[in-house]
Amino acid sequence: MISTPRYLGRGSWLGSRDPRVPLVVGVLAAATVIQLWDIRIVSVLFVLGQAYYRTASIPFRLVRRQWAFAVLFVSILVLVNTILTGGAIGDFDRSDLHPLFYLPLLGTPISAESLSYGATQLLRFLTFITIGFPIAYAIAPSDLGPALARLRIPEKFAFGVDLTYRFIPSLAGDLQETIDAQRVRGYEWDKGRGGPIARVRRTVPLIVPLTMNAIVGAEDTIDAMDLRGFGTGRRSWLRELAYDRADRALLLTALAIFFAVTIASLMGLTKLWVFPPLLTLAGE
Amino acid sequence: MVERTAAAEPVVRIEGLTFRYRRATEPAIRDISLTIDPGEVLLVAGPSGCGKSTLIRAINGLIPHAYPGDLAGSVMVGGRSTSEWRLRDLAGIVGTVLQDPAKQIVGATVEAELAFGPENLGLERVEIRRRIGEVAERAGIRGLLGRETAALSGGERQLLAMGGILMLRPRLYVVDEPLANLDPASAARLLGILRDLADEGHAIVIVEHRVEEALDLRPDRVLYLEEGRTRYLGDTAGFLAVADPDAVKLPFDAVLARFRADPALMGATRQPGRHGQGPAPPDEQPRLEFRGVRAGFGDREVLHGIDARLGRREIVAVLGPNGSGKTTLFRTAMRLLAPTAGEIRVDGAPAFERSVAELATTFGYVFQSPSQMLFARTVREELTFGPRNLGRDAASFDFIVSDALRRTSLDGLDGILDRPPLTLSFGQQKRLALAIALSLQPPTLILDEPSAGQDHRTARRFMQEVLAIPGLESIFLVTHDVDLALTHADRILLFRDGRVVADGPPALVVEDLDRWIGCNLRPTSLMRANARWRPADAGFLDAQMLAAHVLTGTAAAESHGEGGLTVGTG
């Protein structure tokens, strides 16, 4: 089965940009946000990110599940890594923390700092995702390879990303075919009993045929690419890319924010900001 | 047509070629010698496993560049050994269209796909654009420009795959089973492109099971392989005189001529198998009934209000062009796809009252490719998977397994129960898929493209075995193989654009030739011959049976004569 990624941002303002723009903005945004621990500044970037996201005009109903998964995933990550396990909190020493209470059984201190840290971390992740979604949905599938290649990414890698991006949905189609083939044998993955290991074992009737078919199919695809001279020398790209004024403005804005945050970070202005009400609550 | 002379330098010269894959114990091809001249069309035919694919790989350079093994003899392309060429440079001389275009197409859009080869060769953008314009015109795919490859039909993809090779302007075109995924109209278009290329002086190598259709290309020579060796290399007339009509599907006239020349061949003919008991009486409760069923994928509706009754004791074949809704019909019946409107009834009760697993005890659904379902370590484990899922008594497993193997003639294979399913040949895997469906002891089989991926002999044998399975009440099959459907079914459902456009016995359905062609179906030589010679009270006969019938002398009296069904020349 052959299928294509969903190009949901087609025709939008962001979708009409040079395909390198979402990629570069994504990298700059990541490099910017990673320097920030002050939730007030992260909030500003999050709002800017939302505005940026809206220019891609991605219908929410079509990505609702992806958003739900991403939010759930980062929430669990933050909850486990920064709160439940009481891991390192920025530059704070444990003796400087302002505990609010201790988790029963675990004894982990829940402090004004850890809660502020968790909230900031969550918002940082959400900002990454907000900026990252348009890369998946607002770049035409056929533009990904040329865009990466023009960004000086090695050609084999650039085309590899392009191809992977295109074949993942095809793999999803093959998976559906295998699910159907097993269902007519009375197989229902979600109806068996047992714990997580039993559930993983129940995926074997799906995973084995899917993997075998993918390997065999990949061999044909590799043959087809070899026979058209892929990877044997420097290649050209039919797709012509050129930044227009809006592209440059967007890139300059992202670059300016990056430099501003970098300078602020060097000046020590982006450190963790602890919510004053939490400090009050902790008896500060 | 380009005049070929003996003095012309061959594009390919193969001498004493023998090749054994690295992990194989036996060579895949042995002692092959041939030349291919500019402007020549070479048809390569033979049963599955005869070495056709290996020969192609040797010509296009994948052997030895991508497939290591022991190679003896020489393969010269453009005057140099393939081992001396870089694949990149060879791509400018030999263009290969693989069998499955879905695996060959790497571009997300039609333009990106066409540009892929020239981009790899580093051609200038202006030149690539110029070639896209030319190729789109030549391949008849100008209307596809701007579209995403995922949205193309099977036939459109095959033409695009051909276009991707045309972009490289090779001197030799190697085309591997191009007709396998094509409906007749698309096949005719592709053969026309290849014929034009040959007339312009390009060499063509076409590998094809569907010999009858490939002969439309008017090949100059035919290479017939059996078990990796050259069985015949020469002109078409000579090939038709030596080819085994059981192994390769030949035009009916050729089968008749072979039987006339060698009456002993008639002794080997067998009935295709049992037919069902014919169309069900109107008052009998059908096994499967569709009432105004609509279904599709997302916003795209595929079935537009289907009304059909499939009887408890009949063989029904569903025919129609790619994408007309044939497979979707039965996926909907099995509740793998929910209808958006209408009702489906199984044995008189609404299908939605039963789960997919429960429906599987009524319908044994055999998918097109067995590799989509095989996963277990042993055949026994594979066969008990379904009964286990349905909570059958474990004490009955031995009986179920042996019964399924016996009914599919797999019980004769040594140590079959402990063999890993994926080590079986493709034909054996097909039979195992059938056995898996039978392990749930359904009274009805649904076969999706039973002849796909099999050569003529294997496909015929498979159908004979299916029809001989004891205890089966009915068979519903989806197929592109017109002759298979006409010779085996009691009834044909003809589909076009998600609608049933004809429903009746084969002889009646083919009467309206305009409708037949309108459904993108090809009138075959067997149809023409059946119309002329088939006994009035008999169903469609396969080529061997009909030829035997004609030659036993009863044909003259029973012939429908020239006033019978008139179909194209095929």
pLDDT digits (tens, 9 = 90+) for B281-315: 666 789 999 999 999 987 789 999 999 999 999 99
**Domain B12-244 = CATH 3.40.50.300:** yes
The mean pLDDT value for B439-465 works out to 85
DSSP code string of B225-263: EETTEEEEEE-HHHHHHHS-TTTS---HHHHHHHHHH-G
* Residue A231, Cβ density class (10 Å: 0-12 exposed, 13-18 middle, ≥19 buried): middle
For B375, the closest of A141, A209, A227 (CB atoms) is A209
Judged by DSSP in three states, B282 sits in coil
Residue A53: inside a domain, yes or no?
A: yes
Residue A56 lies in a domain: yes
Torsional sign, CA A218, A220, A223, A228? negative
Residues of chain A with pLDDT under 70: 1-5, 85-88, 90-91, 192-193, 284
For residue B435, give the chain A residue with the closest CA. Answer: A185
The predicted structure's pLDDT at residue A157:
84
Q: Count up the domains in chain A and report the number.
A: 1
B117 shares contact with chain A (CB less than 8 Å): yes
What φ, ψ does residue B40 adopt, rounded to 5°? Answer: -95, 145
Cα separation, B290 vs B308, whole angstroms: 5
Mutate to test the interface with A, among B98, B104, B368, B375 (most CBs of A within 10 A): B375
CA distance B416 to B412: 8
Tell me, what's the pLDDT at B564?
A: 31
Q: Is residue A29 part of a domain?
A: yes
In a domain, A264, yes or no: yes
Query: Does pLDDT of B279 surpass 70?
Result: no
Phi then psi for residue A108, to 5 deg, are -70, 130
- Say what the pLDDT of residue B282 is: 62
Q: Region B78-90: what's the mean pLDDT?
A: 89
Residue B442 pLDDT exceeds 90: yes
For residues B409 and B430, give the distance between their C-alpha atoms in angstroms, rounded to a whole number. 12
Inter-chain touch A163–B106, beta carbons under 8 Å: yes
Would you say residue A258 lies in a domain?
A: yes
- Spatial neighbors of A40 by CB under 8 A, at least 6 apart, are A273
What the block records as the tokens of A256 is: 């300016």
Q: Which residue has the higher pLDDT, B363 or B460?
A: B363
Mean pLDDT, rounded, for B535-553: 81
Q: Residues of chain B with pLDDT > 90: what percent?
A: 50
Give the range of the structural domain holding residue A81, as residue numbers without chain letter.
20-156+241-281
Kindly state which CATH superfamily the domain B279-358+480-521 is placed in. P-loop containing nucleotide triphosphate hydrolases (3.40.50.300)
Amino acid at position B177, single letter: E
Comparing B457 with A32, the larger pLDDT belongs to A32
CA proximity to A239, closest of A93, A139, A99, A94: A139
Greater pLDDT, B482 or A231: B482
pLDDT at B186: 77
Q: What is the pLDDT of residues B379-434, one digit of tens each?
A: 999 999 999 998 889 999 999 999 999 888 888 888 899 999 988 877 788 889 99
Question: Could you tell me what percentage of chain A is helix, strand and coil, using 3-state DSSP and rounding each to the nearest 5?
Answer: 65, 0, 35
Q: Residues spanned by CATH 3.40.50.300 within chain B? A: 12-244, 279-358+480-521
Say which amino acid occupies B80.
Answer: R
Instruction: Pick B375's closest partner by Cβ from A205, A224, A237.
Output: A205
Are the Cβ atoms of A233 and B96 closer than 8 angstroms?
A: no
State which residue of chain B sits closest to A225, comparing Cα positions: B104
Query: Mean pLDDT throughout B334-340?
Result: 94
In the prediction, which pLDDT does B277 show? 55
Within-domain flag for A151: yes
Cβ-nearest to B87 among A162, A232, A236: A232
Using a CB cutoff of 8 Å and minimum separation of 24, what contacts does B228-235 make?
Answer: B228/B26, B228/B27, B228/B28, B228/B29, B228/B30, B228/B50, B228/B51, B228/B54, B229/B29, B229/B30, B229/B31, B229/B32, B229/B51, B230/B31, B230/B32, B230/B33, B230/B34, B231/B46, B233/B34
B129 pLDDT band, cuts 50/70/90, is very high
A5-39 CB burial, b ≥16 within 10 A, e <16: bebbbeebebbebbbbbbbbbbebbeebbeebbbb
pLDDT computed for residue A154 by the predictor? 87
Structure tokens at B471: 């205890």
* Average pLDDT score, chain B: 86
With an 8 Å Cβ cutoff, are A209 and B106 in contact? no
Task: Give the model confidence (pLDDT) of B362-371 as tens digits.
Answer: 999 999 888 8
Q: Does the beta-carbon distance from B121 to A235 stay under 8 Å? A: yes
Residue pLDDT, tens place only, B161-191: 999 999 999 999 999 888 876 777 778 888 9
pLDDT at B17 exceeding the cut of 50:
yes
Task: Examine residue A230 and state whether it is found in any structural domain, yes or no.
Answer: no
Q: Say if residue B2's pLDDT is above 50.
A: no
- Whether A43 is covered by a domain: the verdict is yes
Interface test with B, best of A228, A237, A240 (most B CBs within 10 A): A228
Task: Tell me what pLDDT residue B181 has.
Answer: 67
Query: Who among A183, A227, A237 is closest to B119 (CB)?
Result: A237
At B346, the amino acid letter reads V
Judging contacts by C-beta atoms under 8 Å, the chain B residues touching residue A181 are 367, 372-373
Closest Cα in chain B, distance from residue A206 (Å): 8
Distance from CA of A177 to the nearest CA of B (A): 7
pTM of the model: 0.78
